[in-house]
């Protein structure tokens, strides 16, 4: 058994697609849309993991709340401390929120945490 993909609703499909393809090298399929107001892209990453970004015309926009039940973050490995530092700086310079600065965690990770276009937490780690 394996997880095939993670799905997340987003406010702006094109903006989110750009974020994940630009910063994390996701490769997108063609946009899917149906007549019920739903549309999505599947983004596939180098290791084969997939993220489905979805939008609906009746999407309810909720505030992002830290430390609440539900999914906490999506983590991407960028293979080196230098890459963590560089990608974090690039994303923050482009105007995204820095939730957690570069740090060594108690469980041995070197990481930072930034926002995606919808405020979802994206962890960048080795």
Per-residue pLDDT tens for 68-94?
888 899 999 999 999 999 999 999 999
**Is residue 98 in some structural domain?**
yes
Domain ranges, residue 42? 6-56
CB 53 within 8 A of CB 10: yes
Strands 6-9 and 27-28: unpaired
pTM of the model: 0.94
Strand, coil or helix: what is 52? strand
Give Rg (Cα) of the chain: 15
CATH of the domain at 111: 3.10.180.10
**Is residue 119 in some structural domain?**
yes
**Is residue 97 in some structural domain?**
yes
Q: How many alpha carbons fall within 13 Å on the CB side of residue 111?
A: 19
**50 and 81 share one domain:** no
Q: How many domains does the chain have?
A: 2
Q: Would you list the DSSP string of 43-72?
A: EE-TTS-EEEEEEETTPPP----TT-SS--
What is the percent of the chain where pLDDT is above 90? 87
CB 110 within 8 A of CB 126: yes
pLDDT, averaged across the chain: 96
Per-residue pLDDT tens for 39-50?
999 999 998 999
**11 and 40 share one domain:** yes
């Amino acid at each position: 058994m394996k997880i095939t993909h993670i799905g997340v609703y987003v406010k702006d499909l094109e903006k989110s697609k750009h974020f994940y393809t630009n910063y994390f090298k996701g490769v997108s399929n063609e946009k899917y849309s149906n007549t019920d107001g739903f549309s999505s892209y599947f983004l596939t990453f180098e290791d084969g993991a997939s993220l489905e970004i979805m939008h609906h015309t009746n999407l309810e926009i909720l505030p992002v709340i830290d430390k609440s039940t539900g999914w906490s973050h999506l983590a991407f490995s960028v293979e080196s401390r230098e890459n963590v530092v560089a990608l974090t700086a690039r994303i923050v310079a482009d105007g995204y929120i820095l939730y957690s600065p570069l740090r060594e965690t108690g469980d041995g990770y070197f990481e930072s945490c930034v926002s995606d276009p919808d405020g979802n937490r994206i962890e960048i780690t080795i």
